[in-house]
Chain A
Amino acid sequence: MIELLDRIDSVFRKFTKGKCQYADLRLQQVETERLATASRQAEPIEKSVSMGFAVRVLKDGAWGFTASSLFDDKEYERVTKLALAIAAASHKVMGREVQIDRWPAQTGSYRTPVQQDPFAISLPEKLGLLQHWEDLLHADAAITATSTFLDFRRETKFFRSLAGGDISQVLTHVGAGVTGGIVKSRRERYERSFPTASGQFVSGGYEKITIFKIEENIPKIIEQVVTMQTAADCPAKTCDIILSPDLASLQIHESIGHPLELDRVFGSERNFSGTSFATVDQLNKLKYASDVVSVFSDPTVAGGLATYQFDDEGVPAKRMPLIEKGVLVGYLSSLETAARIMLPSSAAARSDGWGNIPLVRMTNLVLEPGNKKFADMIAEIEDGMYIEGVESWSIDDNRDNFTLGGEIGWEIKNGQLGGMIKSPTYSGNTVQFWNSCDATGHPDEWTLWGTPNCGKGEPGQNARTAQGAAYVRFRQIKVGA
């Protein structure tokens, strides 16, 4: 790919140098493979390769962006010139010029540590693993609907800029999951998933699949789905709740990650995914959460779906605080948005593949673990509910009001787990909710959960994010619809 990059780069430089304030070039290849089964039947294997290049220019304070998957000199010239023409069109409606103090000129390379290349493992071996999981799921005759999957992705990307940036990265992700269900009638279905509803995703090689411990946990989810048939409906009341780490991950994603995307805060997403209550005048003032809550953005933490060394603007990745002891202290940002509040970029400008503009996206968000183990959290609750798994989510366009649903729950009475509850839901207001948090779980129970399908932008771009959490406890929350 280097020869191809050099050829595009030479045309890119010829037509941009001296004609704009700044320009960058990305060449990316994305390889994916997904294997799945549904009730023992193998689904079609999805195997794809996509490659293209993108040119981004800043001319007279306005952006232009073009991308193409056609590789020939005429196309490189057409696309580069068109980027400049689009920037000129952008200049026609400009309330504010883009201002960046200094463009990064980083050089470097990064590769996800991989012991076993998932694409090199034979398809029969991978299909065999899924069939093995299917056999285990069907060990109990009560289970009538099952599904399993393996998912692999490798993104090879090169970045160059007129400022001197020259970066290459190879990011490899693996994912897996299973679901077992009982369909009793058209209106009556019970399902349990592991590691969570959409599976677990991490960066790394095929060797990572074993750390999910799927095989070991299949008997437990079978037992739970059988019990779900006689479980109580979720009561409507106010009580203390404990969220499982995967559900806490979703809660962090929806009510901390999205509200702290600085482009969103400024209104860039106003027409589609909305804006945020966490406006910049509240930086270092807003008591977003209780004292026990500290959250970082950290693309350098190992194993996350947003683990990288440079973002798609060539900014080096670094750990940055967002919430410290409950106070809002930072945002997820790009060069442009960070410059508006005179802070350094959090290296969170990321694009979906080669064909999209980098937007401010969530990285790996880390909810700092506390010192309380799950059992201790339960022991301190008189009347409450433990909610596990991810079932449903909805939050308003200002990221205030939300309703989230878990896959399964258990009542908590006098410090002990009680009866099972099916389809538990809870709701609240983001700031009130996080201020009601009185315990974050122990590091031994902390997990970095991958989200492979975070949507943002118009049209939608998909981003791969991660949120790390242990069990989290909240006091006096409204549960039930």
Chain B
Amino acid sequence: MIDKARALQILETGLATSAADQTELVLMGEDFSLTRFAESTIHQNMYRSDSTLFVRAVRGKKIGVSSTGDLSPDAVRQAVAAAGAIADLMPEDPDFESLPQPISSETPSDAVCFVPATAASLPEQRAEAVKLIVGICAKQKLQTAGAFRVTTETVAVLNSLGVRQYNASTKAELSLTAVGEQQNSGWAIGYSRDISKIDAAGLAETAADKAIRSRDPIALESGAYTVILEPAAVGQLLLFLAFMGFGGKTLQQQRSFMAGKIGEKITGDNIAIIEDPFDPQLAGVPFDYEGVPRRKVVLIESGIARGVVTNSYYARLLDSESTGHALPPNNTYGPYPKHMAIAPGDKTLEEMIASTARGVYITHFWYVNFLNPMKTQVTGTTRDGTFLIENGKVTRAVRNMRLNQSILDAFANAEMISARRELYPQYSVVMLVPAMKINNFTLESTEG
């Protein structure tokens, strides 16, 4: 892990060599450890240390970006020079005004997102957790597959206008699948900044229970069903909703389902979605890749579209202020939320099930993909624990089904939301999500 003094020293040294009008340097470091297991055997086990320096050079309204993994003084100087040379060649961007000025604000301390015990954890700890999981599942004659990953990340941002930021963060994530002899399966996932909060035994028991109950699945007809989605399934829909419209670039370019809808009702009254890096469970890095402090952003409130996240560039185009959601300088995707929370309801999963005459209980989805982004229409399949609910009880396993569904329509039909929420990580985004009972959810019978 690159410490604060070393990181800022590398960046200051680079800045001193820049001849650009404005210069930004971003240093990202990663220590990544992973233990993967399958067939109840550890089959991949690794550690990787990597770092990347991005340089953004500005000459007038021309911008150049370069990156390097070599942090030697010569390489840093070359990267700075390369960014300047690229800027010279670029056409002017008439919409560019400036890199961000320093902004002082109250932000969470590093301790919120950095847990020393996580950073110091060893491969033996991961192996012991896997051994525990394999043992629990073996008692039920189940094999296991999964991944236990531990990451320490550092990010430092410095620009010629005075921005100086540094943060170190940790995260631990364990997901596993218990697999039976009839290809029956169950899945569970745990995530925390603190590795000691990963409950390997609890996750193994959850996955094993689902695998056992997944035997002898029946096929259901295609149709509109009442579904109960576990938090991970809700999170998978939320993530695609974010892809399709919670970023300032998609809004400004009219590619977002939020375009023209701000202030209008787009989901049910009971849906509130907040980008909340300050939630202690989400524990976000307190600034973005431009060094701008992150802000809490209400995306949907009582079903009404309220706003999107921005970086400095798109904030200006949208006549607002940056919410601190810039991605790294080489990214052309635009600003993006990374710590979304859906407001809780007041139900339990048991109450949801008990209130359902006939429905489908879904653990999570697989291969969700866009069909029509403007209508938030996606497809994908259910996986690793899909069950029939009859007369208020989970009765038997159901063969995987294909969803073909508008996410906004689903969130308009959410009848119940759980009080309990869980953390669900995917693609460098962490979400705090409840379970939901949703009516009129389109599921198709599959031919697999």
- Which label, helix, strand, loop or mixed, suits the secondary structure of the A interface? mixed
Contacts of A275 in B (CB 8 A): 183
A392 to B371, CA, bound (A): 6
A189 to B131, CA, bound (A): 52
Contact B44 A65 (CB under 8 A): yes
In the assembled complex, how far is the CB of residue B258 from the closest CB belonging to chain A, in whole angstroms? 10
Contacts of B381 in A (CB 8 A): 394, 396-397, 401
B43 at the interface (CB under 8 A from A): yes
In the assembled complex, how far is the CB of residue A243 from the closest CB belonging to chain B, in whole angstroms? 18
Contact B39 A267 (CB under 8 A): yes
Contact partner, B89, options A124, A356, A400, Cβ 8 Å? A124
Mask: chain B, 387-428; 1 = CB below 8 Å from A; 0 = not: 000000000000010101000000000000000000000000
Contact partner, A70, options B40, B49, B64, B259, Cβ 8 Å? B49
Contacts of A62 in B (CB 8 A): 42, 45
Contact partner, A42, options B32, B91, B185, Cβ 8 Å? B91
A355 to B151, CA, bound (A): 14
Mask: chain B, 79-101; 1 = CB below 8 Å from A; 0 = not: 00010001001110100000000
B368 at the interface (CB under 8 A from A): yes
Contact A46 B65 (CB under 8 A): yes
Q: A44-B63, A45-B64, A48-B66 are in contact. Are A271 and B448 (CB under 8 A)?
A: no
Contacts of B45 in A (CB 8 A): 62-65, 86-87, 89-90
Q: A85-B123, A397-B381, A400-B447 are in contact. Are A47 and B69 (CB under 8 A)?
A: no
Contacts of B48 in A (CB 8 A): 66-68, 355-356
Contact B70 A48 (CB under 8 A): no
In the assembled complex, how far is the CB of residue A146 from the closest CB belonging to chain B, in whole angstroms? 13
Q: A49-B68, A392-B379 are in contact. Are A405 and B44 (CB under 8 A)?
A: no
In the assembled complex, how far is the CB of residue A463 from the closest CB belonging to chain B, in whole angstroms? 16
A15 at the interface (CB under 8 A from B): no
Contacts of B70 in A (CB 8 A): 49, 51, 69
Contact A127 B89 (CB under 8 A): yes
Contacts of A51 in B (CB 8 A): 69-70
A129 at the interface (CB under 8 A from B): no
- Which label, helix, strand, loop or mixed, suits the secondary structure of the B interface? strand
Contact partner, A65, options B46, B130, B175, Cβ 8 Å? B46
Contact B82 A267 (CB under 8 A): no
A355 to B69, CA, bound (A): 12
Contact partner, B448, options A66, A401, A405, Cβ 8 Å? A401
Contact A89 B90 (CB under 8 A): no
Contacts of A79 in B (CB 8 A): 47, 49
Mask: chain B, 175-205; 1 = CB below 8 Å from A; 0 = not: 1110100010101000000000000000000
In this complex, how many residues of chain A approach chain B with their Cβ under 8 Å: the count is 75
Mask: chain B, 89-128; 1 = CB below 8 Å from A; 0 = not: 1110100000000000000000000000000001110111
Contact A459 B179 (CB under 8 A): no
In the assembled complex, how far is the CB of residue B329 from the closest CB belonging to chain A, in whole angstroms? 7
A266 at the interface (CB under 8 A from B): yes
Q: Which residue of A lies closest to B33 (CB)?
A: A86
Contact B49 A68 (CB under 8 A): yes
In the assembled complex, how far is the CB of residue A195 from the closest CB belonging to chain B, in whole angstroms? 21
Contacts of A267 in B (CB 8 A): 38-39, 143, 145, 179
A69 to B332, CA, bound (A): 25
Q: A44-B64, A355-B48, A432-B447 are in contact. Are A394 and B369 (CB under 8 A)?
A: yes
Contact A272 B128 (CB under 8 A): no
In the assembled complex, how far is the CB of residue B448 from the closest CB belonging to chain A, in whole angstroms? 3
B440 at the interface (CB under 8 A from A): no
Contacts of B400 in A (CB 8 A): 396-397, 401
Contact A397 B383 (CB under 8 A): yes
A458 at the interface (CB under 8 A from B): yes
Q: Which of these binds chain B: A91-99, A342-350, A444-452? A: A91-99
A45 to B329, CA, bound (A): 10
A96 to B134, CA, bound (A): 13
Contact A43 B332 (CB under 8 A): yes
Contact A66 B47 (CB under 8 A): yes
Q: Which residue of A lies closest to B133 (CB)?
A: A93
Contact B371 A123 (CB under 8 A): no
Contact B447 A266 (CB under 8 A): no
Contacts of B134 in A (CB 8 A): 93, 95
Most chain B CB inside 10 Å of its own CB: which residue of A67, A266, A459: A459
A19 at the interface (CB under 8 A from B): no
Q: Which residue of B lies closest to A399 (CB)?
A: B448
B359 at the interface (CB under 8 A from A): no
Contacts of B379 in A (CB 8 A): 392, 394, 403
Contact A357 B46 (CB under 8 A): yes
Q: A270-B179, A271-B38 are in contact. Are A392 and B369 (CB under 8 A)?
A: yes
Contact B175 A69 (CB under 8 A): no
Contacts of A67 in B (CB 8 A): 46-50
B330 at the interface (CB under 8 A from A): yes
Contact B43 A63 (CB under 8 A): yes
| A-B contact list, 19 entries, CB within 8 Å | A41-B93, A42-B90, A44-B63, A48-B330, A49-B67, A49-B68, A49-B69, A50-B68, A51-B69, A65-B46, A83-B47, A96-B39, A123-B86, A127-B91, A183-B254, A267-B39, A392-B369, A397-B400, A400-B446
